[in-house]
Amino acid sequence: MNFEMERKEKAEKIEAVIAGYLPKEEGYQKRVEEAMNYSILAGGKRLRPMLLKETFDMFGGKGRIAEPFMAAIEMVHTYSLVHDDLPCMDNDEYRRGRKTTHVVYGEGMAVLAGDGLLNFAFETAVKAFLLAGEGETEKIAKALAVFAGKAGIYGMIGGQTADIEAENAEDEATEELLLFIHEHKTAALIQSAMMTGAILAGASGEEIEKVEKCAYNIGLAFQIQDDILDVTGSLETLGKETGSDEKNKKTTYVTLKGMEEAKKEVKRLSEEAVAIVSSFRQRNIFLEELIRQLITREK
CATH of residue 168: 1.10.600.10
- Give residue 235's pLDDT: 43
- Give residue 173's pLDDT: 81
- Give residue 238's pLDDT: 45
Q: What is the 3-state secondary structure (H, E, C) of the chain?
A: CCHHHHHHHHHHHHHHHHHHHCCCCCCCCHHHHHHHHHHHCCCCCCHHHHHHHHHHHHCCCCCCCHHHHHHHHHHHHHHHHHHHCCCCCCCCCEECCEECHHHHHCHHHHHHHHHHHHHHHHHHHHHHHHHCCCCCHHHHHHHHHHHHHHHCCCCHHHHHHHHHHHHHCCCCCCHHHHHHHHHHHHHHHHHHHHHHHHHHHCCCHHHHHHHHHHHHHHHHHHHHHHHHHHHHCCHHHHCCCCCHHHHCCCCCHHHHHCHHHHHHHHHHHHHHHHHHHCCCCCCCHHHHHHHHHHHCCCC
The reported pTM is: 0.91
Express each pLDDT in 183-240 by its tens digit.
999 999 999 999 999 999 999 999 999 999 999 999 999 999 988 998 886 544 445 4
- Domain holding 10, by residue range, is 3-295
Q: What is the pLDDT along the chain (299 residues), one digit of tens a residue?
A: 699 999 999 999 999 999 999 999 999 999 999 999 999 998 888 999 999 999 999 999 999 999 999 999 999 999 999 999 999 988 899 988 899 999 999 999 999 999 999 999 999 999 999 999 999 999 999 999 999 999 999 999 999 999 989 888 777 788 899 999 999 999 999 999 999 999 999 999 999 999 999 999 999 999 999 889 988 865 444 454 544 555 556 788 898 889 999 999 999 999 999 999 999 999 999 999 999 888 777 76
Domains: count for the chain = 1
